[in-house]
Chain A
Amino acid sequence: MKSLFQAELYRARKSKSPLIILIVCFGMSLFSGLSYGIMYGNAPWIQKMYENAFGYNPFAFGDDLDLGLDIAGFTRMKSVGEFISTGLRINICLYLVIFIAVFLMPMRRSGFIKNLSSEHSRTRIFFVHVLLILIYSFLLVDVAALAMALMCLVTYRGLPLGGLPELLTYLVTSALLVAAIGLVVLTLTDLLRRQTPAIVMSVIYLWMIAPTVFAMGQVMTLYTSRSDFRLQYVSLAGNLMLLSPGKWDTILSALLVIAVYAGLCILLHFLVVRKKDII
């Protein structure tokens, strides 16, 4: 498994596509931060426009600064800024889907998997790819956070990050949730063995994860008699740091999400995927 992982790292270095995706993610996050800044810079004008159009003041919901690493579309609007940044920013999960499509899938699509099949089982290949997804999720989240932080510095001349533990919680949670989606995408592509339907299903799935996570939060609340699993309530990641009262609850929730998804994907792999012919 170690040698296969090393081979994939070598391929990542040579093919450059993972690096390009990270650069695009960084660039788009800068753009997202910029647009966010512009919106806040024009707050009175937007406020007036919204009041005229919809009859309410969106800023009344609060104007928290959002580092915005959301991974789902079902985010309750807290401010126009959040709304716009959510709308403009290409979802981090989509970068992960692209990574899976252009980097992980070619092993099967190109047929290179045939060269490895006699030495490495499908399960071993699956777990190496799970590991790569986990690592890449952390990289994507960190790169996006760095870009947003830079734009914060430029736009607001400051970086209201809060405490380091909160920031780390925020990053770890976001990465775990992004990775959970990646596992689903990986399993779908392995299952369908075709790229386009797998990607289409994955994108549809991105829009279904919020209610699923919400349900899991409800289960957690039911069993722990606590009601502060709110990461699913407002957003999967956006404003997480500001809304969740306890960092461990947040991380626990994210761990629960990834554990459930990883469990399902691994089960599906063992029951179905690994028994399928490669070609």
Chain B
Amino acid sequence: MSYIITTSDLTKQYREVTAVDSVDLHVEEGAVYGLIGRNGAGKTTILKMLAGLAFPTSGSITIGNGSRKPRIGVLIEEPGLYRSLTALENMEIKRIALGSPDSPERSRQLLEFVGLMNWADVRCGSFSLGMRQRLSIALALSGDPDILILDEPINGLDPQGIHDVRTVLSRLNQENGKTIVISSHLLDELSKVATVYGILDRGRLVKEAGEEEILNSMPAYVRFIVDDTLAAKTVLESMGIFSYQTKSQHMIHVLEQFARRDEMLEKMIMAGIHVHECQVVRESLETYFMGITKEDRV
């Protein structure tokens, strides 16, 4: 497997506090790696170390897997912008500083990409948090980085903004093959883009797993909405299924036997029950995260 970022025993200590404790991360090339954790779990500290903004107390970070050092675009904490300069001028400073062969037109394209073209010549000081966040994403994309390190990139964005950023990230990953390491408190949003997860708790990496593994470990159930729950229960029991919960007068959750969903549905219909809804529902990433970190604490 080709890892573009690996850390080994990565530790960061601030006086008495261990912010990151012996973390071994493995980020595959082309993955969207979601870092999940409570406040103070060490997400931002890890991202800062990956971005070269902070030094590890011990342990090592390896970035790149070939002879060429990958280029990294960074958005960590508050957007870093010169507020007295315009959006385009900020972009140009980054472009020139990187010695990028791109033309100035590329800066405009990136602003267009994040939906700020109409504000290209407006000073950043007058931007809303969402606009600054978008500009920071455009800055992170300047120089065509191979890896994007994004800390809470959807913080402060309105629902439309969150949707736009998600779309941008998905496109960057799927169309351009960018590797993205991203942290967010909005786990359901994160679950829409991430392909691998690293779950942190009090500075330690408690789990690192792919989307599929996480999905399979998430609690799930089949939800039936029917006109007669009593009759539905009789059908289920006749099939040898006893692990169910009656949630309301019309709703039953069947906690296992997902593979027999169609069979259950067929039997209920044959029994003359009106089935209004029948679907497999998975617990959210948030519920999964709460469960795994609680387990770890116990």
Contact = CB atoms under 8 A, between A and B. Distances in A.
A157 interface: no
Interface stretch (B50-58, B218-226, B233-241, B262-270): B50-58
B4 interface: no
Given A11-B82, A11-B85, A106-B82, A114 B51 contact: yes
A64 B199 CA distance: 75
Interface residues of A, number: 25
A112 B55 contact: no
A10 B99 CA distance: 13
Given A15-B85, A114-B74, A115-B140, A278 B94 contact: no
A226 interface: no
B94 A116 contact: yes
Contact of B143 (A2, A15, A112, A119): A119
Contacts of A119: 71-72, 97-98, 143
Given A14-B85, A110-B80, A278 B54 contact: yes
Contacts of B82: 11, 15, 106, 110, 112
Interface string A1-26: 01110110011001100000000000
Interface residues of B, number: 34
B96 A117 contact: no
B93 A112 contact: yes
Interface in A100-137: 106, 110-120
A7 B82 CA distance: 13
A115 to B, nearest CB: 5
B80 A10 contact: no
A10 B54 CA distance: 28
Nearest to B45: A277
Contacts of B139: 115
Interface string B29-61: 000000000000000000010011111000000
Q: Which of A2, A112, A114 has most chain B Cβ within 10 Å?
A: A114
A216 B12 CA distance: 43
Nearest to A3: B99
B152 interface: no
A279 B83 contact: no
Given A6-B96, A111-B79, A15 B84 contact: yes
Contacts of A3: 96-99
Nearest to B96: A7
Q: Which of A6, A110, A113 has most chain B Cβ within 10 Å?
A: A110
| Shortest beta-carbon contacts, A-B, top 3 | A111-B80, A3-B99, A7-B97
